[in-house]
Amino acid sequence: MKRKLLSAILCASMVAASLAGCGSTAAKEEATVENEATPAGDAADDTADDSASDGKLVVGFAQIGQESGWRDAETMSIQTYAEEHADTVELKFADAQQKQENQIKAIKSFIEQDVDVIGLAPVVETGWDQVFAEAQDAGIPIILLDRTADVDESLYATFIGSDFIEEGKLAAQNMAELIGGKGKIVELEGTVGASAATDRKTGFDEEIAANYPDIEIVASQTGDFTRAQGKEVMESFLKSNPDIVGVYAHNDDMALGAIEAIKEAGLKPGEDIKTVSVDGVKGIFEAMVAGEANCTVECNPLLGPLFFETAAKLKAGESVEKWVKSVDGVFTSDIAADVIDDRAY
């Protein structure tokens, strides 16, 4: 299996590119990314000759799918970076369509193709031990991007992403401020078993229980990180709990679905029912400007440059931190209009 060091020129170009920022996230017609629209289950059909990479950094990335605007922004950040650095980077991309088995097939395909580094955003936390061990046996390091996996730390090189528990705590603090520290609220959870959902719930629920005894979470149910499910679950919440004063959603897309449900119920989102969510996509900023949402805790999806910089270090045999934290912020409706034009996703 090939395990060659990057040349000094490649390392310098990767670091310089990372300092330049995330670049454009606009779609490009002439993509150089392999398998851009290929489901992960079909990834094994790609039998590209490794010798054709000409010393490039060859990375396989298994994406979850297209569950939300946030996920699309992350995908675009990765693909755009690869396109703009096609002289030094080769990306093999697979879309798992929200299925773990498809991600596992993609990883096995990347191992067969002898890529330099494998990256993935795990659909769920568990069930990765065997395929991660196969990658390790092949000498291919794994980067977890934006979601963690419940495996021994020796089976992956690093995790790049946010502190989901902290996001949940910040969401709880802002919810408490919005509703005056008391009232009944509901929670829209993300995909069952996903680290982002598990930790955002833990952070929020524990913060409420520890510091806000007059706030009651009367219902909590998964909306699978999608707008459609967020709306459907919120409709059910409203029928069962007519006196709720707030909704916490594990991502903005579910919050936007909840806002639709609140309006259809004849209530005013952002006023009658306060909203707090996580991600920071432009759609929620538009809702805040319109007075229909109140707060979003940012989870930056523009991880492409940091991902490839880290992959280059791993190929070069350099050490990296076990957790490379992304930089995030908190945004409320009173400042949304001032920053919305600067949102890149």
Euclidean distance between CA atoms 251 and 196, whole angstroms: 9
CA dihedral 25, 28, 33, 34 (to 10 degrees): 130
Look at residue 23 in the predicted model and tell me its pLDDT.
33
- Check residue 18 and give its pLDDT: 37
Q: Where in the chain is the domain with CATH 3.40.50.2300?
A: 8-160+302-326, 164-299
Looking at 3.30.530.20, 3.40.50.2030, 3.40.50.2300, 3.40.50.300, the CATH number of the domain 164-299 comes to 3.40.50.2300
The C-alpha atoms of residue 316 and residue 336 are separated, in whole angstroms, by 42
Q: Could you tell me the CATH superfamily of domain 8-160+302-326? A: Response regulator (3.40.50.2300)
Residue 37 has pLDDT above 90, yes or no: no
Q: How far is residue 259's CA from residue 167's CA, in Å, rounded to a whole number?
A: 21
- Name the residue among 119, 102, 196 with its Cα closest to residue 157: 119
Tokens representing residue 11 in the block = 């390392």
Instruction: Tell me the C-alpha distance between 6 and 57, whole Å.
Output: 8
* β-strands 295-298, 323-325 pairing: unpaired
Q: What is the DSSP letter of 60?
A: E
Q: Which residue has the higher pLDDT, 45 or 67?
A: 67
Position 27 confidence tier, pLDDT thresholds 50, 70, 90: very low
The percentage of the chain sitting over the pLDDT mark of 90, rounded to a whole number, equals 81
DSSP, collapsed to helix, strand or coil, labels residue 154 as helix
* Whether the predicted pLDDT of 102 surpasses 80: yes
Is the pLDDT at 115 greater than 70? The verdict is yes
Residue listed under structure tokens 């920071």: 280
Average pLDDT in the 32-53 region?
44
What average pLDDT does range 67-95 have in this prediction? Answer: 95
| pLDDT, tens digit (0-9, with 9 covering 90-100), for 247-305 | 999 999 999 999 999 999 999 999 999 999 999 999 999 999 999 999 999 999 999 99
Q: What share of the chain is helix, strand, coil (3-state, %, to 5)?
A: 45, 20, 35
Q: What is the pLDDT of residue 53?
A: 55
CA distances for 74 relative to 43, 139, 266, 303, angstroms: 20, 26, 35, 6
Question: Average pLDDT of 176-183?
Answer: 98
Q: Which of 213, 187, 160 minimizes the C-alpha distance to 278? A: 187
d(CA 201, CA 170): 12
- Inform me whether the pLDDT recorded for 5 exceeds 60: no
Question: What is the structure's pLDDT at 127?
Answer: 97
- pLDDT of 22 > 80? The answer is no
- d(CA 253, CA 259) in angstroms, rounded, equals 10
pLDDT category of residue 39 using cuts at 50, 70 and 90: low
Residue 275, H or E segment: strand 274-279
Of 148, 138, 119, give the one whose Cα is nearest residue 61.
119
User: Does residue 220 register a pLDDT over 50?
Assistant: yes
Q: Which amino acid is at 213?
A: P
Average pLDDT over residues 211-230: 98
DSSP symbols for 85-137: TTTTEEEEEEE-TT-HHHHHHHHHHHHHTT-SEEEE--SSSSS-HHHHHHHHH
Q: The pTM is what?
A: 0.79
Contact status, residue 93 vs residue 33, Cβ threshold 8 Å: yes
pLDDT at position 175 over 50: yes
Token pair 């229909």 is found at 292
pLDDT confidence bin for 129, thresholds 50/70/90: very high
